[in-house]
Amino acid sequence: MVEAKPALTPLGAHLKMKSATEEKLSEEEKYMKSAPYSSAVGRIMYAMIGTRPDLAYPIGVVSRFMSQPAKEHWLGVKWKLRYIKGTLNTRLCYKKNSDLSICGYCDADYAADLDKRRSTWLFYIWRD
């Protein structure tokens, strides 16, 4: 991923993720054995907790498939790594005696969960 092209969004609109069927999992079993899926998700999650809340929603999406990831889920993780590469200077910075002003936004995506057809809530927070 060192030479990958940076992505501008944390989750590509073309990535519609849903649970893989048993047939698909058996077809992609060899490919997924070489993909460090859970390790990559865990490392991104670690960054999300401390300094990158912008990764919370997209990493939540790919972490739904930790037990049985498919190739499309791995492509989603790689997309997040490309996004991180393009936004290395984006982070929370905690400073003593700073005038902090936070502005938050919320949105809902009707039935975005393709497996259970549930709505997904998105929260965005920006520092002014």
* Residues 88-111: tens digit of each pLDDT: 888 777 777 777 666 777 766 666
Residue 31 has pLDDT above 60, yes or no: yes
Least confident of 49-53, 89-93, 115-119: 115-119
- Domain residue extents for the chain: 22-94
DSSP string, the chain: -TTPPPPSSSS-TT----PPPHHHHHHTHHHHHTS-HHHHHHHHHHHHHHT-GGGHHHHHHHHTTSSS--HHHHHHHHHHHHHHHHTTT------TT----EEEEEEEETT--TTT---EEEEEEEE-
So what's the pLDDT on residue 100?
67
So what's the pLDDT on residue 128?
47
Q: pTM higher than 0.85, yes or no? A: no
